[in-house]
Chains A and B, each alone.
Chain A
Amino acid sequence: MSKSMSLIASVASGVALAGLVAAAPAAAKVEGDTIILGSAISLTGKYATNGIHAKNGYELAIKRVNEMGGVKIGGKSYKLKATYYDDESTPARGAQLAERLIKQDGVQYMLGPYSSGMTKAIAPVSEKYKIPMVEAEGASRSLFTQGYKYLFAVLSTSEQYLASTITLAAEWAKKNGRKPQDLKIALVFENDPFSQDVRAGVLDDMKKYGMKAVIDDKMPRDLADISATLTKVKALKVDMLIASGHSKGAATAARQIKEMKVSVPIIAMTHCEAAKVIKKFGDSTNGFLCPTQWAETMSYEDKYFGTAGDYDKLFKATYEGYKNVPYQAAQASAAVLVWKEAFEKANSLDKDKVRDAISSIEMNTFYGDIKFSPAGNNIAKPMALRQIQNGKLNVVSPAKWAVSSFQPRK
């Protein structure tokens, strides 16, 4: 009897001890002279390619900030460090890990995950605990209509991605003696929040010119086939084809445009670089218009990385296997720079003071100017548009950075 009692007691105390260990606030927001940033990011699963780009961007900026003496708060110098968890590209897991970062690991400063969908899952969590999050990879417009107070994004929102292509098309029509509203435009967008946002932006701009879409299809999410839609595009002799559906959408569209010999004068799509369409489909991609958040040829500059071109060189020297530096990495680096400047501006580690500092920040970075609207999105940086010309991506819009002019496809 007493034996079994003592056994029960020891088991119970063991359980209680284990509970205590688990409940104890583990690593806090600051360890010694190190500020801990936290991020749930996709290191495996379907977003892993871009998740890893983003992580590399975070790490490069953290390294650079630390090399330059770290973050100075109240006369003391702090180093930056980030804790990452792999969210496996699933939103539910992302939200779970955000809870864990905040509640168990005591993280008070968050970096964003990759993709709008993941950000949508994580933002409510950081908002609930009033933890500021600077994100660099969630562009969906709908993230900034929820009244979030602790969410800040350094990138341009999704409805701006392809909107400027409409202006280009309208100018092209006028040059050829046609009315913009007579252009036949085909839209193929994947049925997900990001792509539908891009579509909404395009539709808004089309309305300005009185244009109507002759085809408005939604790309199937699971299957790599839009040949039926492209058959329609050919049959209707469309003037402009706009497509968006992440890397898979770009790869599918580029492959089938080549295979079905679709000769539309203007083709615009997102994720050209991410899907590596030039490398995969060669000459057939000449003339594609691809939006970008950032390009290394732009004349932005800051004291951390120098010019956009310098960042490009440093990134390639640091990480192997990059022919082009994806903008996903550049904007991730910019998010870290926002944290650095915000800490110094607030001159405090208090998360609410830092949050206020972020919201009023105005800075120039190698990635572009950053200034947040009350909704949290960056309103100081425009999207740029590049065109594939002879296998190279040249900026064609806005005019300030254009290194080449738009040419219709042959």
Chain B
Amino acid sequence: MIDNINLLILAPYLNIQLLLDGLFIGAIFVLAAYGLALVWGVMNVKNLAQGDFVIMGGYIAWQVGVWGINPLFGLPVAIVFMFGFGWAIYYLVIRYVIERDLFTSLLATFGLALVISQVLNLLFGPEVQIVDSGFAVRSIPILGGEITVSEIKFLSFLMAAALAAAVVLFMKNSRMGQAIRATAQDARAAKVMGIDTERVYAFTFALNAAICGAAGVLIAMIWNIQPFYGMTHSIRSFVIVTAAGFGNIPGVIMAGLGLGVAEQFSGFVLGAEFQQATVVGLLVLVLIWRQIQSSRHRQAVI
């Protein structure tokens, strides 16, 4: 461990490599986590099928690649398809659990996750698949060393950022975005004001599915996908949203990027086996800190 820290000090370019790798991957986590925060905040539904939406997006990219088209074009396909899919799932499942307690919505979405992963397994088989975008890998000399950046990772980062920005602008400026925010604040009041909250919910859920689909396309191009990998991505989204707190978009972005970077550094210093332990450990720390903060807050109110 000390050796590895020494290595980071002796060869500073390694820090940049780890930082970049962490940011690139963190940006994609942010997308799925943002969608989760959206649904959680607006509808109070905790979507355990989040990761499976991501994997669905991945398979869309894969399928597009199989057709001989560059999987990057899978991005619009995934967004449109997943939007429709999300809309359908809302009317088939989510609509019935939205008013129920937490447990019901968790069960329903967990069931959804199982069904999606099994259907993917039947359609595409259980093999680990990768999607090759055909982009090159660049070696960049920096700080007396050389780092490698695959173009697709960089491109994914830009796309994730653009998507996130588009969604934020949409929420701020569009009519639907305003309706979504109004519904999140107070669904009954929104209804009284003439907002069709049912439609808002359907749109929110569909938007979330579309964001996840986009994230999935990017994940498939830089990692690999398999029908049963969804849960990992769900858990990661939950960790990010929990760490950031709801309704806190900058928080989600910071937490997502931060976790990506923390993972890379802990993997380097402590070994790959601690990569995920670090993420969970950080979450515990954040929660403890929150607890302390809120207990202080409560005392002040009393």
A59 close to B (CB within 8 Å): no
Within 8 A of A (CB), among B239-287: 263-268, 271-273, 275-276
Contact A259 B272 (CB under 8 A): no
Is chain B's interface secondary structure helix, strand, loop, or mixed overall? Answer: helix
Within 8 A of A (CB), among B167-210: none
Tell me which residues across on chain B come within 8 A of A44, comparing CB atoms.
118, 121-122, 126
Contact B126 A47 (CB under 8 A): yes
Contact B18 A228 (CB under 8 A): yes
In the bound complex, how far is the Cα of B149 from the Cα of A260, in angstroms? 7
Counted as pairs of residues, one from A and one from B, with CB atoms less than 8 Å apart, the total is 108
Within 8 A of B (CB), among A260-315: 260-261, 275-276, 280
Chain B residue, CB-CB nearest to A232: B268
Tell me which residues across on chain A come within 8 A of B118, comparing CB atoms.
44
Contact A260 B128 (CB under 8 A): no
Contact A280 B130 (CB under 8 A): yes
B232 close to A (CB within 8 Å): yes
Interface size class of A (residues with CB under 8 A): 35 or more
From A222, A229, A231, A252, name the one whose CB has the most chain B CB atoms within 10 angstroms.
Answer: A231
- CB of A193 to closest CB in B, whole Å: 15
A248 close to B (CB within 8 Å): yes
Number of interface residues of B (CB under 8 A): 40
Contact A225 B275 (CB under 8 A): yes
Known A225-B25, A235-B14, A261-B137; contact A49-B272, beta-carbon cutoff 8 A: no
Contact A227 B264 (CB under 8 A): yes
In the bound complex, how far is the Cα of B25 from the Cα of A222, in angstroms? 15
Tell me which residues across on chain A come within 8 A of B122, comparing CB atoms.
44
Known A222-B232, A252-B223; contact A228-B275, beta-carbon cutoff 8 A: yes
B224 close to A (CB within 8 Å): yes
Contact B272 A220 (CB under 8 A): yes
B295 close to A (CB within 8 Å): no
B104 close to A (CB within 8 Å): no
Contact A223 B276 (CB under 8 A): yes
A62 close to B (CB within 8 Å): no
A-B pairs with beta carbons under 8 Å apart, 13 shown: A44-B121, A48-B126, A216-B271, A218-B273, A223-B275, A227-B264, A227-B267, A228-B267, A228-B272, A228-B275, A229-B268, A259-B137, A260-B148
Q: Which of B's residues lie within 8 Å of A, judged by CB?
A: 4, 7, 11, 14, 17-18, 21, 25, 118, 121-122, 125-128, 130, 132, 137, 139, 148, 150, 153, 223-224, 226, 228-229, 231-232, 263-268, 271-273, 275-276
